[in-house]
Structures are given as C-alpha cells and as structure tokens.
Amino acid sequence: MGKTKQAKQKINTLSQKQKDQENFSEKICHFIGDHLQAPQFLKDNKYIKQGYRINFKSTREILKSFFMIHNESINIWTHFLGVITLIFLTFFLLTQYNHSIDLQQWKQRMIQNVNNQLEPIYKQMKEMDEAFNEQMNERFFEKYKDELIGKIENLRYELIQQIDSHQFDWIDFYMDDYINKNEFLIEKSNTHVVSRWPIFVFLLSAILCLLFSTLFHLFYCKNPKYFQFFLRLDFAGVSLLVSGSTFPPFYYGFYCNFYLAYFYLSLVTIVSAFVFLVSIQEFINKPEYFAFRSFIQGLLGFFSSIPIGHLIYLEVFKENNNDTYSTANSIGYYLVVCFCYLIGLIIFALRCPERYKPGHFDICGASHQLWHVMVLIGIGLTYVASIINFYTRKINICKDGF
C-alpha cells in the first residue's frame, strides 16, 4: 500500500509539474520549447521531445517561424519547395511542350528512317552484283563458276534471313504503322491535337495538396481551432491528389472511347468531391469517426483502381482493336508511386524511427518528415508517367479519338 501511495504521489507531482510548465509557458512570449512546456494539442507524437513552437499567437510570429529551426521545419519546407517546383513545371509545360503533332512531317520522318535502314542492304546487294560481274570477266570463271554462284546464293539467303530475324523488327513495325494509319493520314488533317489538360489537373491537385499540408504544418501551432481546421484541410488535400493523379492515365488510356473515358473521370471526380467535402467537416476528426474517415479514403482508392484494371484488361486481351496505345511504358512508374505512398504510410503509422530513439529525430528524420519525402517522390514519378502517357498517345492515333 505504501508503494502504491508513493507511486500515485509521484504521478501527481509529475502532472502538477507539467501543468505548472504549461501555465508558465502561457505567461511568457513565444519560444521554441520541449514536450513538457508545449500545450496538449501540439503533442501529436510523444516521441518528439524538443522543438515545439509555443505561444506563437499572431500570424506575424508564425510567419517568422517559417525561417526558424523547430520540429516542423522539415515538414514545412519539403512541401513548400514541392509547391514551387510544381508551379515551375506547370509553366514549363505551358511554354515548352507542344500539344500537337504534324502528321505529314511524322510520316516523312518514318519514310526517311526506313530508307536509312534499307540503304546499307541495297549497298551490299550492289557490291555483290558488281563482284559477280567482275568475276564473270575473269579467265578462270568457268573453274570457279559453281563455287561463286553458291556463295552468292548463300549470301542472298543469309541477307533474307537477317531481314526476317528479330534484328529487323522495325520493318514489321513500320509496315503495320503504314497499314493501320495510312488511311487515317489521308482522310484526316495534317495536325493531330492531343490535349494536355489532364496533366494540368494532376499538377493543380498536387499543388493544392502540398499547399494545404504546408499551411497546416505552419499555422496549426496558433491554437486548437487552427489545428483542427488545417488538419481537415490537409486530409482533404490528399483526396485531391489521389483523384488528380488518375486523370492522365484514364484520359489518355481511354482516349479512343469518349464515353468510357469521361464516365470514369466523372466517377472519380464525384467520389473525390464527396471525400473532400466530408474531410473538411468538424466532426470528421473525432475519434469515433476514425473508421468512417478511413472507409471513405479507401472508397476513393477503390473507385480509382477500377478504371486501371479495366484498361489493363483491354490491353492484355487485345480488346482495343482500333487503338495501339499501351500503358506498358508507364505502368512501372505508377507501381513505384503506390509503393512510395504505402511505405510512407507504414513509416508514419509506426512512428519509425523516432519511437526507437525518442528525442534523436526531433528536428530531422522523423516519420512524418520521411512521409513527406515519399509523397514528393510519388508526385514526381506521377508527373514523369503522365508525360509518357501524353507522348504515347500522340504517336498512337485512333479513328474515333476526341
């Protein structure tokens, strides 16, 4: 009984000490303090011991903390620099990438490419012919007649075999291209326009997601109301990023099927809007709604995966007879993106590595910061995959495209 009483007294003493620290902190100006001095709403991670922004009550003080070193510095700067980078990429895409392709020029280049590939073959055949004629004029032609004819026949046979081999697969490629596309090139105009708006939708969604995250990590220290509001905005930004990332693969993948493309894009947009609106409601951050919040986020992921499965099915089973487009050259990027997000979430959920060395990763290297880095990598790879989708669609023309 005596030991139990002492333990309770010790706990009460520590609690009182913490309350005294918090009361003392409230009476002085803003500063960077430790876990004991920080108000309760700032203590999201018990393994982070130092670097809390305490008593940052005004917007001016908070903006100044943008250039201070604290436990949110990395979180703020990673996504802020991400916003700047994406804005730069948006302007670069607007000014540097041409959304149309000159079909006549493209056709001439293909013909020139074929001629360049065939020229060495023609040259070799000509040399063989000249060598044969030269040998015919020699006195000893009769002696070696059969041998020369046999060698020439062997060379001709080897040349034909080489043309038919995998080393010259480009011949079949160009022949198929001309068979499939020549009629279209004749009937249609000389300019084939492929819109870039799906890439801009993705970039805008990524910019908003990173911007909302930056605002949350910068301003949530002001008071509990700010914390709750910007946290909801942060969650809502995730739904924008998920839906925006689907626009390039869906639009360019189903480019030849107007109704199917816009059906899937509309479906993802509606579900994303629903998740966004729910995420900014006050009730969503309450503990009793954690399961519901997880459910609607999973719902968005589920509806986003359906079109991807459909697109892969069409390509694998060759259902797209009028479309030579393929996601094969970009699917690897999207798989790595999913892997980055998954690994980042696992690290964030496990509070790794700070849980194993509390206080050692207060400023740099904490789980939330690693999650931010993984998000940036995922966004960067999605941008690369989107550009690949765009250019793949530009050179794969369908008769009923929009």
Higher pLDDT, 302 or 152: 302
| Alpha helix (H) residue ranges in 65-140 | 73-96, 103-136
Q: How far is CA 18 from the centre of its chain?
A: 45
Most confident of 11-15, 181-185, 258-262: 258-262
Q: Mean pLDDT across the stretch 116-120?
A: 72
Evaluate if residue 308 carries a pLDDT over 50. yes
Residue whose pair of structure tokens reads 């080393």 in the numeric block: 167
Binding residues are: 217, 368, 372
The conformational region for residue 257 under phi > 0 = left, psi -120 to 50 = alpha, else beta, is beta
Cα distance between residue 257 and residue 396, in whole Å: 14
Q: Do 180 and 324 meet the contact criterion of CB atoms below 8 Å apart?
A: yes
Nearest alpha-carbon partner for 387 in 184, 92, 151: 92
Cα distance between residue 138 and residue 133, in whole Å: 9
Q: Mean pLDDT across the stretch 45-59?
A: 92
Amino acid at the residue 100: S
pLDDT of residue 127: 76
Evaluate if residue 70 carries a pLDDT over 50. yes
Evaluate if residue 172 carries a pLDDT over 60. no
Cα distance between residue 309 and residue 300, in whole Å: 15
pLDDT of residue 388: 93
Cα distance between residue 164 and residue 361, in whole Å: 62
φ and ψ at 165, to 5 degrees?
Answer: -75, 175
pLDDT of residue 286: 76
Evaluate if residue 65 carries a pLDDT over 90. yes
Q: Which two tokens stand for residue 302?
A: 């589920």
- Angle at 323 (CA atoms; ends 322, 325), nearest 5 degrees: 170
pLDDT band at 189 (very low <50, low <70, confident <90, very high): very low
Beta strands in 189-261 (DSSP E): 191-193
Size (the chain), residues: 402
Q: How far is CA 19 from the centre of its chain?
A: 46
Most confident of 66-70, 178-182, 289-293: 66-70
Evaluate if residue 179 carries a pLDDT over 70. no
Nearest alpha-carbon partner for 363 in 58, 59, 61, 45: 45
pLDDT of residue 220: 93
Evaluate if residue 162 carries a pLDDT over 70. no
pLDDT band at 123 (very low <50, low <70, confident <90, very high): confident
Higher pLDDT, 351 or 326: 351
Element containing residue 33 per DSSP (H, E): strand 31-34
Of the given ranges (45-49, 272-276, 292-296, 376-380), which has the lowest mean pLDDT?
292-296
Q: Residue 103 burial (CB < 10 Å; 0-12/13-18/19+)?
A: middle
pLDDT of residue 371: 93
Cα distance between residue 333 and residue 339, in whole Å: 10
Handedness of CA 161, 162, 166, 169 (dihedral sign): negative
Amino acid at the residue 283: F
What percent of the chain lies above the pLDDT cut of 70?
71
Report pTM.
Answer: 0.71
Q: Do 224 and 41 meet the contact criterion of CB atoms below 8 Å apart?
A: yes
Q: Which two tokens stand for residue 251?
A: 């639009």
Which residues face 193 on adjacent strands?
100
pLDDT of residue 188: 47
Tell whether omega for the bond before 39 is within 30 degrees of 0, i.e. cis. Answer: no
Q: Which two tokens stand for residue 292?
A: 């519901």
Evaluate if residue 146 carries a pLDDT over 80. no
pLDDT of residue 291: 76
pLDDT tens digits, residue range 332-350?
899 999 899 989 888 988 8
What percent of the chain lies above the pLDDT cut of 90?
37
pLDDT tens digits, residue range 221-237?
999 999 999 999 998 89
Higher pLDDT, 125 or 295: 295
Most confident of 70-84, 118-132, 154-168, 264-278: 70-84
pLDDT tens digits, residue range 83-116?
999 999 999 998 876 555 555 555 666 666 666 7
Binding residues for Zn(2+) are: 217, 368, 372
Evaluate if residue 134 carries a pLDDT over 90. no
Which residues face 54 on adjacent strands?
31
Cα distance between residue 177 and residue 320, in whole Å: 16
